[in-house]
Every structure is written in structure tokens, then in C-alpha cells.
């Protein structure tokens, strides 16, 4: 028996509201989220937030340092890092705070999934070349079965998105489906 969780990554207010390619995902994500909830699938939201103090920013990590310098957009207590209100979590749905690219790195995501006997993950969110890819690789190393919803992910560089979903993710064992294909299988 397969037990599945839907992971919605980094669709937080500041990212969605400041990047048009991300805002385009909201209608698709709303449909996927509604279908998952109706099917009784565990939904886990993931958001990126750094400490305002910068204590979690290593000097040798220029990407994380740049995110921290972006100010409220990536500071954990800022409403900019909260899940976008159009897809807000319902009571009882988990929100995982991450401080790095993978949703597994230094979070309790694996604990939540294993506690609920999840063995299959459906990945959505942004960016395809960052959170989605890093989480997919990490999940594969942890022996989760993987599905990526190609139209519920996006990247600021569409060619990166296309290459990952058409070539790399399938080669790493992930099923890549459209949201419509996935919903039809529920």
C-alpha cells in the first residue's frame, strides 16, 4: 500500500508576490491542493526563513548570505515568508521551516513523513532548479517514491525547468506528470 504526501514548497507570500512566473502557479496549486485534500492526502507546506540575526548564515555560503541580505523577504518571522494566503494551510496541516534548499536539510520533514508512514512524495513549488531538485535528490536518497507535477513547479529560467522535468527527474526515478494526470489517478 502506498501512502502519499503532497509537498508544496516555497510558495510563500514574498516569493509569489515578487515573481510573476511563480504567481502563475497559484491556480494550478489551488486545484492540486483541493484534490489532495479531497482524497485525504497528507499536505505539507515548506517555507524558507532565515534568522534575522544571520546566525544560520555561513560565511562561505554566498547564496544563503544573499537571501539573508534580501531582508524581510527571507526572514523567518516576516509575513513575507508565510505560505501565500490563497493556499493557506488548514488546521492540522504541517508547515516545515527550512533554512537551506532541500526541504529535508535540518528540518523535521523526514520525521513527519515517517510518523505518518508516507512512502511516496508528490513535489510541487519553486524553484524547479532549487527547492524541487534538492528535495527530490534528498528524498530519493531516503528511498521515497517520487512524483513531480510539471505544471505545479516553475523556475525563473524556463529552460532549466524543462530540462529537469523532461530529462533529469525521470532519469532519477521520478514520475513526472501534469497536475491533471495526477488528479485523474486519485
Burial class (CB in 10 A: 0-12, 13-18, 19+), 168: middle
Q: Is the pLDDT of residue 1 over 70?
A: no
CA angle at residue 82 from 79 to 26, to 5 degrees?
120
Model confidence pLDDT, tens digit, residues 126-152: 999 999 999 999 999 999 999 999 999
pLDDT grade, residue 84 (50/70/90)?
Answer: very high
Decide: 131 and 63 in contact? Cβ < 8 Å. no
Q: What is the pLDDT of residues 33-73, one digit of tens each?
A: 999 999 999 999 999 998 988 888 888 888 888 888 888 88
Please give the mean pLDDT across all residues of the chain: 95
Instruction: Kindly tell me if the per-residue pLDDT of 9 is higher than 90.
Output: yes
pLDDT of residue 56: 84
Distance of alpha carbon 147 from the chain centroid: 12
Provide, rounded to the nearest whole percent, the portion of the chain with pLDDT above 70.
99
- Looking at the 3D structure of the chain, how many domains does it have? 1
3 DSSP assignment: -
Domain containing residue 140: 4-184
How many residues appear in the chain?
Answer: 186
| CA 177/CA 28 separation, integer angstroms | 13
Report how far residue 139's alpha carbon sits from residue 150's, in angstroms, rounded to the nearest whole number. 17
CATH code of the domain in which 62 resides: 3.40.50.850
Per the CB < 8 A criterion, the answer to whether 86 and 26 are in contact is: yes
**What would the pLDDT profile of 109-121 be if each residue is shown by its tens digit?**
999 999 999 999 9
Amino acid at each position: 500500500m502506498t501512502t502519499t504526501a503532497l509537498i508544496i514548497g516555497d510558495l510563500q507570500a514574498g516569493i509569489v508576490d515578487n515573481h510573476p512566473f511563480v504567481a502563475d502557479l497559484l491556480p494550478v496549486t489551488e486545484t492540486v491542493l483541493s484534490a489532495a485534500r479531497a482524497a485525504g492526502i497528507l499536505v505539507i507546506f515548506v517555507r524558507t526563513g532565515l534568522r534575522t540575526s544571520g546566525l544560520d548564515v555561513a560565511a562561505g555560503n554566498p547564496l544563503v548570505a544573499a537571501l539573508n541580505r534580501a531582508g524581510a523577504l527571507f526572514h523567518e518571522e516576516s509575513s513575507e515568508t508565510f505560505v501565500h494566503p490563497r493556499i493557506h494551510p488548514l488546521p492540522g496541516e504541517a508547515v516545515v521551516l527550512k533554512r537551506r534548499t532541500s526541504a529535508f536539510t535540518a528540518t523535521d520533514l523526514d520525521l513527519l513523513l515517517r510518523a505518518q508512514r508516507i512512502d511516496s512524495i508528490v513535489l510541487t513549488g519553486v524553484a524547479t532548479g532549487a527547492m524541487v531538485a534538492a528535495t527530490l535528490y534528498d528524498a530519493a536518497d531516503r528511498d521515497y517514491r517520487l512524483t513531480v507535477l510539471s505544471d505545479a513547479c516553475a523556475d525563473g529560467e524556463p529552460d532549466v525547468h524543462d530540462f529537469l522535468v523532461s530529462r533529469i527527474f525521470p532519469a532519477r526515478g521520478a514520475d513526472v506528470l501534469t497536475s491533471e494526470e495526477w488528479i485523474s489517478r486519485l
